[in-house]
Structure 1
Amino acid sequence: MTRPGAVLGRLAGKVTGRVVESVEPDVILSHVDVDALLDRVDLDRLIARVDLEGVLDRIDVQRLLDRIDVQRLLERVDVQRLVERVDLNRVAASLDVELLVRRSGLADVVVESQTRLAGSLVDLVRRQLAGLDTVLDLVVVRLLRRDPRALPTAPPLLDVPEQAWTDA
């Protein structure tokens, strides 16, 4: 014996198929409340069914980047706020100061300036000693009561007549 519900189910299936075939989808959709339909959709479940890796693989990243107006994007960046968020102590701790000094050439500048300073100091001391030598020489000449005009103007090997310079 066939149950009446089964017969009605088969009959409804056949009728439904013919109704769906004969009715325009736009007519049916015009009667659908899309907002109410979307309210019933479980988005988490829907997203779980989507192959996001497949979607991402289909995206042309270069084309997407070409569409970005970088200048406009940079105008929206608050640089002051960005700088305030930087932890300078952390940045400084990660720096290799010795390497930075070597690359900057600062050590060479310091050595060069020390060398110049030392050279200048030596020159100053030499001039002072030369002046002191001249003063002491005059004091000795006076003490010994010699005529300062009779003294040689230079050591004998360096005392070359002026004419030798002009002949060369």
Structure 2
Amino acid sequence: MLLAAAGLYVGNSSTLAGRPPGGPFLLAHRGLAQTFDLAGVTNDTCTAERIHPPEHPYLENTLASMRVAFAAGADLVEFDVQVTRDGRLAVFHDATLQCHTDGTGKVAEHTLAELRGLDLGYGYTSDGGRTFPFRGKGVGLLPTAEEVLAEFPDR
């Protein structure tokens, strides 16, 4: 029995596998995004309200943030998709709008045109709501999955 367990362990572990060819890949999570403290973050945490002081002008899940991530050497960019009321695939992280944007409700309750009128940078603050460095800078930046794939066809 012990020999069978040892064989099962070795057969299912990576101890016998060699290093994959090509080395590691650099993955950019949502493109180049604002950073925030991960302590205490849950699925319901509004991360836009807890960013570090901004070090760059990019907002997550936008074409500009993906372009700069690839330019900085990313091999892959992960992005999030939500289905809109009119059946489009909007690139947006949250199912709801009120954390990051000046909108309310669920992404699925709005058309793509309505979502593109929102300010994606509206809710970002690093100082508890005294200032909002990206307010007014995120209008019209919400892409569709089709636009992302067309922009980066070889990625």
Q: How does the TM-score come out when normalised to structure 2?
A: 0.16
When you count strand as a share of all residues, which structure comes out higher?
Answer: 2
Give the structure with higher Rg (CA): 1
Q: How does the TM-score come out when normalised to structure 1?
A: 0.16
When you count helix as a share of all residues, which structure comes out higher?
Answer: 1
Greater relative contact order (Cα < 8 A, sep 6+) = 2
